[in-house]
Amino acid sequence: MPPQIDLSAIPIVDHHAHALTKAVQIASLVQYQGYFSESPDPIIKARYVPDSIMWLWAIRELAGYLDCEPTAEAVFAARNARPIQELANGMWTDQNSVVLMIDYGFRSAENYTPEELRATFNQRVEMILRLETFAQDLILQHSTFSRMLDAFVAGVEGARAAGHIALKSIIAYRTGLDIAWTSRDDAVRAFGQVKDQADREGHIRLASKPLCDFLVLTALDIANRQEMPIQFHTGFGDTDVDMLKANPLHMRPLLQSDRFRKVPFVLLHAAYPYIRELGYLAAMYPNVYMDLSLAIPFITTQIPTLIHEALGLTPLTKVLYSSDAFSIPEIFWLANRWGRAGLEQVLSEIVQAGALTEAQAQWAGEQILSANARRVYQLA
């Protein structure tokens, strides 16, 4: 019988997550189902989520926690009967989560602010600055490229002083990870087109490749001077991501250039399904780190397989657990529960194979769940 590695005493430092929604209750079961899929399609949410392992397994797990019948209707009623503070705090305590690092640029209008999270819930909350959302606001505010860029540089340079622990880019969603060296002149021309559209429509979704590339490269130069971590979305996500351009191997020219060696690159979501490619980058470049979120919890029964592939090549001090959970406490709880259990299973199997001792496996679990994030983000 393989040794049973127990990581329950290790606190989780959730280094990449999103804020909870302020909604007191969720209006319908169909709306509730929508949180259990990455698809924005209403047909997927209403018709197909109930047929997914993510949903079927989650309902049984949540029924056990909420002490109700293992049906969707019973779980929905039980969770709506609890105040959000009680539900969230209980679920974080149950899974020994202690720190949340919040990318607050996702659905920000309907969510708790970082300050409200700190005042309401039992987690230490740190902030992450989402670059593309920040840039969008500045494009709306400023009439010229020079003024917008000055404000962008000032905001990124002052991010740490303003309380941000890291930067985050979703350029994979917008124009892809094949980030090209871009001149200021090209960025100025792109800004003119984007600004005209923003003025006409009153809002903007920044998806101009020259402008996105230029701004991310500008932020990377600042991050390199400050040795500030930057997270990049890689791999799967919503349907607006071009998966072919979300392969982290597209970032190799940036890493190979030696221009950003002081930037800790935290590549998110295990780059699923490009986990081997991400493992290669983390093994080859000293400043590249692998995150396991989003794949955990959404690939459900394949979580141990994912972790095996991550640990096979990547140094154990370069793998970071997070939930990438959002909106409702249940996603945090499921990710933390399944992620910890998957890591325990994999480390037990590695010990049984003779590759690690039990003491080394316990140490590895501590690094992945907590210590690596504390080190990368310089948490006191």
> What tokens were used for 138?
């500045």
Give CA separation, 87 vs 78, 121, 323, in Å. 10, 10, 17
Confidence of residue 239 (pLDDT cuts 50, 70, 90): confident
Residue 110 reports pLDDT greater than 90: no
Residue 106: its pLDDT value, please? 66
Nearest Cα residue to 84 out of 254, 305, 330: 330
pLDDT tens, residue by residue, 111-123: 999 999 999 999 9
3-state secondary structure (DSSP) of residue 194: helix
Secondary structure string (H, E, C) spanning 195-247: HHHHHHHCCCCCCCHHHHHHHHHHHHHHHHHHCCCEEECCCCCCCCCCHHHCC
Confidence of residue 137 (pLDDT cuts 50, 70, 90): very high
pLDDT tens, residue by residue, 274-299: 999 999 999 999 999 999 999 999 99
Higher pLDDT, 30 or 3: 30
What's the rounded mean pLDDT across residues 356-369? Answer: 98
Which residues are 296's β-sheet partners? 293
Pair 236, 270: CB distance under 8 Å = no
What's the rounded mean pLDDT across residues 137-153? Answer: 96
Terminal CA-CA length for the chain: 40
Pair 100, 17: CB distance under 8 Å = yes
What fold does the segment set 12-25+84-376 form as a domain? TIM Barrel (3.20.20)
Please, what is the average pLDDT of the chain?
96
Residue 107 reports pLDDT greater than 70: no
What's the rounded mean pLDDT across residues 178-203? Answer: 94
Residue 74 reports pLDDT greater than 90: yes
What's the rounded mean pLDDT across residues 18-27? Answer: 89
Phi, psi of 56 (to 5 degrees): -60, -40
Residues 6+ apart with CB under 8 A from 154: none
Residues 6+ apart with CB under 8 A from 77: 68
pLDDT tens, residue by residue, 207-233: 999 999 999 999 999 999 999 999 999
Give CA separation, 345 vs 80, 284, 350, 363, in Å. 33, 27, 9, 15
Helices vs. strands in the chain: H and E counts, helices first: 18, 9
Residue 195 reports pLDDT greater than 70: yes
